[in-house]
Amino acid sequence: MDNGYRDRIASELDNCLTKTTLPAGMKKTGKVRDQYDLDDKIVLITTDRQSAFDRVLAAIPFKGQVLNQTSVWWFNQTENIIPNHLIATPDPNVIVAKKCAVFPIEFVVRGYITGSTSTSLWTVYNNGDREYCGNTLPEGLIKNQKLKENMLTPTTKDEHHDRPITPEEIVSEGWMTQEDWEYCSTIALELFTFGQQQTAKHGMVLVDTKYEMGRDEDGNIVLIDEIHTPDSSRYWINESYETRMAAGEEPQNIDKEFLRLWFVEHCDPYNDAELPPAPADLVIELSSRYIYLYETISGEQFPLPPVGETILERIVSNLKEYL
């Protein structure tokens, strides 16, 4: 995919944001985001780290900015469905957010049966299981087929590996109350339906995604973390979906799946102590796809930063009033 950014991306391969340091706040490092606790609020910095298989695979130029600005766009589009944690976006890679008590459940919603990981719906189904996270699956489904109805397949939020869980277990094991689960699960399905409708207008398919929610200091349940980014979601190109399905080919995707598949083919990404470096052409391709997705969905041109700009220095400067 060539959207005119490849040369610029190639020039920034060694200028990615992989680590952050701020002069204030307690730091918590996630797979992709670094979080700084500033007492009454938090600063979320989206880095260029590429995560999959519960580990970092590579650094992708402009990825952090794409994810952050994609989330901000979707947060603004979905405020009428559920309020969110967004306070300000002082930098392209940064969100200043409300502090929330986070529900320890990821609300994974799927519109299609697909995937390559051990917990993906297709892997589970292909292994013979017909019950998954409280959902019953019919016989005869094929990979990448559209599900009759969108399906919620929640997981626990675990530091090392997320565990699929049923709604009944969520309540009986004390992860959430019945009332909170019912509200959040309804909202997750509403968000996904809205996301599907919006992306379809631009020739895209929102295949699956995950949401996180929490309760703010006023007791309101709010959407947190990220929404409909190419990291939390799978996207396909609608135009070629039917013909590729008919030919038994994988759908054209606009997400990290092709990079995941490269690692699956070249190593054991779950168990190998060291992974091979991601090829530069695949890194450039992924960055280009991320930018394409942002521009396609938002209808806005991606705002490239000045050439060679040091991202962390810019972030610290833009956060001065909060530190």
- The pLDDT > 70 percentage for the chain reads 98
- The pLDDT > 90 percentage for the chain reads 88
pLDDT tens-digit series, residues 240-258 = 999 999 999 999 988 787 8
pLDDT at 118: 81
Report the sign of the C-alpha dihedral through residues 19, 22, 28, 31, in that order. negative
pLDDT tens-digit series, residues 118-174 = 889 999 999 999 999 999 999 999 999 999 999 999 999 876 678 999 999 999 999
Report all structural domains of the chain as residue ranges with CATH numbers, in order of start.
Answer: 15-322 (3.30.470.20)
For the chain, give the number of residues.
323
Report the sign of the C-alpha dihedral through residues 137, 236, 256, 208, in that order. negative
Phi-psi region of 299 (alpha: psi -120 to 50; beta: other; left: phi over 0): left
pLDDT at 86: 98
pLDDT at 18: 96
Q: Give the span between the Cα atoms of 90 and 75, in whole angstroms.
A: 16
Inter-residue contact 143 to 188 (CB < 8 Å): no
- Residue 268, exposed/middle/buried by CB under 10 A (0-12, 13-18, 19+)? exposed
Is 2 a residue whose pLDDT tops 70?
no
Report the sign of the C-alpha dihedral through residues 127, 133, 134, 140, in that order. negative
Average pLDDT rounded to a whole number, residues 281-310: 94
Is 1 a residue whose pLDDT tops 80?
no
Average pLDDT rounded to a whole number, residues 210-238: 96
H-type alpha helices, the chain: 6-11, 63-77, 121-126, 167-172, 178-200, 241-246, 257-266, 280-298, 311-318
pLDDT at 161: 72
Name the band, by pLDDT with cuts 50, 70 and 90, for residue 260. confident
Q: What single string gives the DSSP state of each residue in 226-277?
A: -SS-TTT-EEEESTTHHHHHHTTPPPPB-STHHHHHHHHHHS-TTT-SS-PP
pLDDT at 52: 84
Identify residue 86 by its one-letter amino acid code: L
Q: Look up tokens 């092709």; give the residue.
A: 258
Average pLDDT rounded to a whole number, residues 88-108: 98
CB count, 10 Å around CB of 280?
12
pTM for the structure as a whole: 0.93
Average pLDDT rounded to a whole number, residues 21-49: 96
Is 271 a residue whose pLDDT tops 70?
yes
